[in-house]
Amino acid sequence: MNGAKEFRLGILGSGKGSNFVAIADAIGAGRLPARVALVLSDVEDAGILREARARGLPARFIPPGRFRTKLDEEAERAYVAALQEAGVDCVALAGFMRILKGEFLRAFEGRIVNIHPSLLPAFPGLEAWRQALEHGVKITGCTVHFVDAGVDSGPIIAQCAVPVYDDDTPETLHARIQVAEHELYPQCLAALARGEISLRGRTVLWRRTATACCANAARS
Ligand code: GRF
């Protein structure tokens, strides 16, 4: 966040909302200088909406329209309008299960971020923890990245490695990755809010004083 201006987050999710909870807790604890301006979901009874409402935060279900993997044009307009009305500076995807397209990307260009449960570019797409297990990798993790027109392909902000154990199931591995997600995502959002992150081509640059556990582990 620069000066006294509030950094307003719009958060989109389709699922239980544990990343949203980590973000809200980080704000509450003073670790993330931001405000949750709006939570949106394409799933009417999503846990993320319940979690947001339980905290007294504005939360809305907006129907996604007629497609399964993306928003239709009318829905896209409704999402963009709601986020603009809420005056969001940054859109944080937290388990939002639809690909964002044209108008949405243009409306918030360079201001949309996502958390993905693998070390990208390995295992983009669905159930990345299951892909990692099936591939037999020994280390996986999570990635916070800017969103572009591809699937999990935008510039990488930070990553955190997580070990894979021989007796892991998809559930135990995803749970271990989520512990890392809950650390990493609020730290990346805090760096964005403080204006500590810039982009050179595909490379995300962190201001030297910035701290994200995993991103900066190799710097000290
Ligand atoms: C997370 O694992 C995230 O990486 C992926 O979707 C999951 C959302 O979980 N994009 P939650 O709803 O935040 O608990």
Tokens 């987050």, residue?
A: 9
At 210 the pLDDT is 63
Q: What is the mean pLDDT of the chain?
A: 94
Closest C-alpha to ligand 1, atom 10: 95
Neighbours of 163 (CB within 10 A): 12
Residue 117 Cβ inside 6 Å of ligand 1? The answer reads yes
Q: What confidence category does residue 208 fall into, taking pLDDT thresholds of 50, 70 and 90?
A: confident
Indicate if ligand 1 lies below 6 Å from the C-beta of 14.
no
Q: Alpha-carbon dihedral of residues 94, 139, 152, 42, nearest 10 degrees? A: -30
- State pTM to two decimals: 0.94
Which pLDDT band holds residue 39 (cuts at 50, 70, 90)?
Answer: very high
pLDDT at 211: 60
Kindly report, residue by residue over 116-161, the tens digit of the pLDDT. Answer: 999 999 999 999 999 999 999 999 999 999 999 999 999 999 999 9
Pocket test for ligand 1, best of 39, 115, 145 (most atoms within 8 A of CB): 115
Q: Whose CA is nearest to atom 1 of ligand 1?
A: 95
User: Which atom of ligand 1 is found nearest the CA of 15?
Assistant: 12
User: What band does 219 get if pLDDT is binned at 50, 70 and 90?
Assistant: very low
pLDDT at residue 212 in the model: 63
Report the b/e string of 126-137 with b at 16+ CB within 10 A.
eebbbbbbeeeb
Write out the H or E segment, with its range, that includes residue 41.
Answer: strand 35-41
Above 60 in pLDDT, residue 196? yes
Tell me the pairing of strands 156-163 and 139-146.
antiparallel
